[in-house]
């Protein structure tokens, strides 16, 4: 459970499920989290009794949600004057409803993003475990890949292994791409059949305690061409250079440039069509984005991916 502190006159109101889980450690399908000096959780009758038991054990006041009037009454009771919302997860309709409370409304999305980017030890441990499981699942799967299999069959095998090895679920829809499909970073896994001498790309991840892992691997079924090997080695070296040189305090722009500049030396940078990486946590894509356009710096205990890629359509 992470902390976000309001005050006697300033409150945070969060509806997004991920944010409610992040700040309480409890996952409830529907609800509102109100944060002042303390936390008040509102949820409806479908979830109230089990939620109340969990929240009471954490010292969080859990109340039955009977519409926005329930929240308005609590805000009035506390004497709140300013209400902070996460604009990235607040709809225009919701914003309009909150304006009716008669309070000063402001945005806290940047504050929350920065908070979420710095992980505590329990978060790091969960992500590490998710990484270990998905890597083990990948290695078990790749041994079974053979000619005639479809992308969907490989996907099913991998996800079955991930669950067998302890994952609570998949972090996102696994991508398996054969041959020319591997040139599409977000290929939609389908019924393409594996043939001799084809690239096999797998992009997958799983969750532990809600926290995600993200693993991308490229293999080759058959005899790879010299062109494929050259690209593979260049991407591998770009990845290793980034891992070796990225350190606390480096900007995301400079981190991205480590890999991108190496690929430029190999005349491959124009085929590196996405950012170097992104934050990972309760969501598979979190702040910061490690890209040529990001102004963020990488601070201690930030968890992010390092995934340079080269995508050739010929």
* Per-position DSSP letters for 45-68, written without gaps between them: TTTHHHHHHHHHHTT-EEEE--SH
Task: Examine the pLDDT at 168 and tell me if it is beyond 60.
Answer: yes
Regarding whether 235 and 179 lie in a shared domain, the answer is no
Q: For the residues 223-247, what does the mean pLDDT come to? A: 97
Q: How confident is the model at residue 308 (pLDDT cuts 50, 70, 90)?
A: very high
In a domain, 138, yes or no: yes
In a domain, 2, yes or no: no
Phi, psi (degrees; rounded to nearest 5) at 186: -115, 50
Half-sphere CA count of 218, side-chain side, radius 13 A: 23
In a domain, 301, yes or no: yes
In a domain, 32, yes or no: yes
The 3-state DSSP class for residue 141 equals helix
CA geometry: angle at 237 spanning 232 and 240, to 5°?
Answer: 125
In a domain, 4, yes or no: no
**pTM of the prediction?**
0.94
For residues 200 and 179, the answer to whether their CB atoms sit within 8 Å is no
What does the block give as tokens for 275?
Answer: 């950012």
Helical ranges in 25-150 per DSSP H: 48-57, 68-78, 92-99, 109-117, 121-142
The CA distance from 313 to 271, in Å, is 9
What does the block give as tokens for 300?
Answer: 């201690």
Q: For the residues 71-77, what does the mean pLDDT come to? A: 97
Regarding whether 294 and 271 lie in a shared domain, the answer is yes
Task: Examine the pLDDT at 1 and tell me if it is beyond 60.
Answer: no
Euclidean distance between the first and the last CA atom of the chain, given in angstroms as a whole number: 49
In a domain, 19, yes or no: yes
Q: Which of 74, 91, 117 is the last residue of a domain?
A: 117
Q: Which residue from 7, 36, 31, 4 is spatially nearest to 20, judged by alpha carbons?
A: 31
The 3-state DSSP class for residue 251 equals strand
Tally of domains in the chain: 3
Phi, psi (degrees; rounded to nearest 5) at 160: -65, -45
Residue 2 pLDDT: 62
Residue 3 pLDDT: 63
The CA distance from 304 to 301, in Å, is 10
Regarding whether 53 and 110 lie in a shared domain, the answer is yes
The 3-state DSSP class for residue 154 equals helix
pLDDT digits (tens, 9 = 90+) for 125-148: 999 999 999 999 999 999 999 999
CATH of the domain at 205: 3.90.230.10
Q: How confident is the model at residue 112 (pLDDT cuts 50, 70, 90)?
A: very high
Residue 313 pLDDT: 78
For residue 269, the cross-strand partners are: none
What is the average pLDDT value for the chain, to the nearest integer?
Answer: 96
What does the block give as tokens for 228?
Answer: 């494929």
Residues ≥6 apart with Cβ < 8 Å to 77: none
Domain that holds residue 257: 225-314
Q: Which of 224, 257, 279 is the last residue of a domain?
A: 224
Task: Examine the pLDDT at 24 and tell me if it is beyond 90.
Answer: yes
Task: Examine the pLDDT at 212 and tell me if it is beyond 80.
Answer: yes
In a domain, 5, yes or no: no
Task: Examine the pLDDT at 91 and tell me if it is beyond 70.
Answer: yes
pLDDT digits (tens, 9 = 90+) for 249-307: 999 999 999 999 999 999 999 999 999 999 999 999 999 999 999 989 999 999 999 99
Counting residues of the chain whose pLDDT is more than 70, the rounded percentage is 97
Regarding whether 30 and 106 lie in a shared domain, the answer is yes
Regarding whether 256 and 212 lie in a shared domain, the answer is no
Q: For the residues 118-131, what does the mean pLDDT come to? A: 98
Task: Examine the pLDDT at 86 and tell me if it is beyond 80.
Answer: yes
In a domain, 243, yes or no: yes
For residues 29 and 17, the answer to whether their CB atoms sit within 8 Å is yes
Regarding whether 14 and 59 lie in a shared domain, the answer is yes
Q: Which of 97, 117, 137 is the last residue of a domain?
A: 117
């Amino acid at each position: 459970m992470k902390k976000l502190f309001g005050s006697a006159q300033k409150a945070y109101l969060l509806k997004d499920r991920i944010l409610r889980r992040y700040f309480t450690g409890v996952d409830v399908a529907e609800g509102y989290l109100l944060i002042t000096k303390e936390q008040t959780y509102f949820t409806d009758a479908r979830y109230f009794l089990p939620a109340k038991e969990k929240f009471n054990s954490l010292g969080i006041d859990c109340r039955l949600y009977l519409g926005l009037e329930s929240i308005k009454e609590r805000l009035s009771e506390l004497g709140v004057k300013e209400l902070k919302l996460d604009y990235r997860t607040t709809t225009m309709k919701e914003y309009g409803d909150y304006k009716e409370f008669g309070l000063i409304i402001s945005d806290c999305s940047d504050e929350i993003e920065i908070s979420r980017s710095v992980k505590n030890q329990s978060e790091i441990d969960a992500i590490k475990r998710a990484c270990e499981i998905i890597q083990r699942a990948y290695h078990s799967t790749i041994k079974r890949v053979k000619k005639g299999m479809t992308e969907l069959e490989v996907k099913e095998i991998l996800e079955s292994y991930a669950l067998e090895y302890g994952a609570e679920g998949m972090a996102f829809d696994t991508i398996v791409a054969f041959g020319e499909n591997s040139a599409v970073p977000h290929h939609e896994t389908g019924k393409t059949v594996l043939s001799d001498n084809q690239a096999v790309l797998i992009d997958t991840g799983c969750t532990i305690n809600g926290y995600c892992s993200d693993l991308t691997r490229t293999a080759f079924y058959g005899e790879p061409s010299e062109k494929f090997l050259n690209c593979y080695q260049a991407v591998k070296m770009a990845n290793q250079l980034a891992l070796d040189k990225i350190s606390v305090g480096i900007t995301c722009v400079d981190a991205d440039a480590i890999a991108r500049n190496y690929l430029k030396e190999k005349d491959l940078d124009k085929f590196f069509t996405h950012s170097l990486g992104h934050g990972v946590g309760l969501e598979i894509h979190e702040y910061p984005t490690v890209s040529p356009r990001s102004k963020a710096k990488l601070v201690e205990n930030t968890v992010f991916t390092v995934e340079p890629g080269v995508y050739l359509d010929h």
